Every structure is written in C-alpha cells, then in structure tokens.
Structure 1
C-alpha cells in the first residue's frame, strides 16, 4: 500500500507492533480543520468507538481528555506539521470489524451527533474506508 492513499494529504505513522504500513490518513480538508482546532484547543486526539452516540464517526478531543485503555487500540500517529502528534484510537471491538481496512478521515458539512471539537464549526469528521492491500 502507498504511504498516502489517493485523496489523502497525510498518512499516520504506524504504531502497532510488527506493522510498517499506515492504517489511517487525513484528507487535505481534515488536515486544515485539525490545524484550526489545534490553534484553539491545543494538542488533539481522535477516537472512534462505533458506539450509539457517535456511530462510526471519528471524534476529535483535546489530547488526554478521552481516556484510552485496554479496550482501545492505537492505529497511528499523525505528525501534524508545525504542531505535534495527533493519535488515532479505535475501540478494540470496532477494530475487530475494521482491521482489514485503511481509514481516511475526511470532513463534510453538517453537525455530527457527538462531542467532537469540530461540531461548532458546522462540519463533521467522517471515515472513508478501503480494503488494505498488505500481505
């Protein structure tokens, strides 16, 4: 798989033991929105639970505000130019369903139904997925 999939502006650095490929990337609009959110909120993180409140939308929080643990898997770290690292986490149960896919975080107009930082902007993050092409 290419380091940055088609339509993506930034691939996350792999962090899972034994993996040397990116599982998650950002589109240019998602990257621009993250820069804007970082200016207002400081360091950030993503978590995707697949729960009832957020569906399958990735939620963006100030780093450390959402506590991760054994029920979560870190899929990658985005090196946000001029800012710092943004981790992407997913619930372990959700990862069981999505482990064969590459995820690209994008942005669309409209408000999500969660507590994600972009909601007041009239935008929401969403996931576009494709099958991973790795051995």
Structure 2
C-alpha cells in the first residue's frame, strides 16, 4: 500500500521531530478522529502482532533540516479493508481529538485516500 506525504505535512513533521525526536504514525480504524493518522514519538505507541507496517515516509531535507523517515503502521484488521488504497498524509487547520503530537499547534493530520486501479 503506497503512503505519501504533502509538503505541509512534511513541514509539520520537521517541527515535531525537532521537539520530540524520531516519529511514527499509526492509522487506526476507529470512527471520527479515531480514523485520523496519529503521530507519536517513535516507540510511544505500543505495536503488536495486530499491526501492519505500511512502510516509511520519506521526509525530504529542507533548509538546514536533514531528510528522515517516519514509519507508518495500521491495524491488520483495517489494512484488510484498505489494502487496495493509496494513502496521503496531509495537514489541515483545526484540532483533532486524541494524543497526536501536532494537536497543540492548532493543526491535525488527515489521511486522504484513492483506490488503486489495476
């Protein structure tokens, strides 16, 4: 499953990495804000056999910031439903509910999806 990143989301990840160190995303299958990609300091979200690693986002270098990667995970149950979907993590104004690291900045990550065509 391809996972992409918008420039706005990449810039927010650079800010969060400067504050919190290495990062990770977990995309749950809950409703409302529970279906938003949640950004955590790497290791702060406990992964298990029930989670699928979708891959690593490449955050390109910008100015003096070096390039880095952010792992993206999803519950295996949700993965079965979204397996043929291309995901893009975006950033929008507003506060989501939850523990995602961007919340204090008045923005939230949002996943946009497109069904992959054969």
TM-score, normalised on structure 2? 0.89
Unpaired segments of 5 or more residues in structure 1? 1-21
Higher helix fraction (1 or 2): 2
- Describe the SS at the equivalent of 2:35: coil
Which residue pairs with 1:49 in the alignment? 28
Which residue pairs with 1:18 in the alignment? none
Q: Provide the C-alpha distance between the structure 1 equivalents of 2:32 and 2:51, rounded to a whole number of angstroms.
A: 17
- Which of 86, 90, 115 is residue 99 of structure 2 equivalent to? 115
Higher strand fraction (1 or 2): 2
Task: Go from structure 1 to structure 2 and tell me whether the alpha carbon gap of 1:32 and 1:100 turns closer, same or farther (over 3 Å shift).
Answer: same
The correspondence of residues 1-135 of structure 1 with structure 2, limited to 5 A, is 23-51=2-30, 54-80=33-59, 81=61, 82-134=66-118
Unpaired segments of 5 or more residues in structure 2? none
Note the C-alpha offset of 1:53. Answer: 7.4
Whose RCO is larger (CA < 8 A, sep 6+)? 2
1:61-87 deviation line (CA, Å, top 9, x unaligned): 000110111100011112333153210
Aligned residues: 113
CA contact (8 A) 1:75 1:88 kept: yes
Task: Go from structure 1 to structure 2 and tell me whether the alpha carbon gap of 1:83 and 1:62 turns closer, same or farther (over 3 Å shift).
Answer: farther
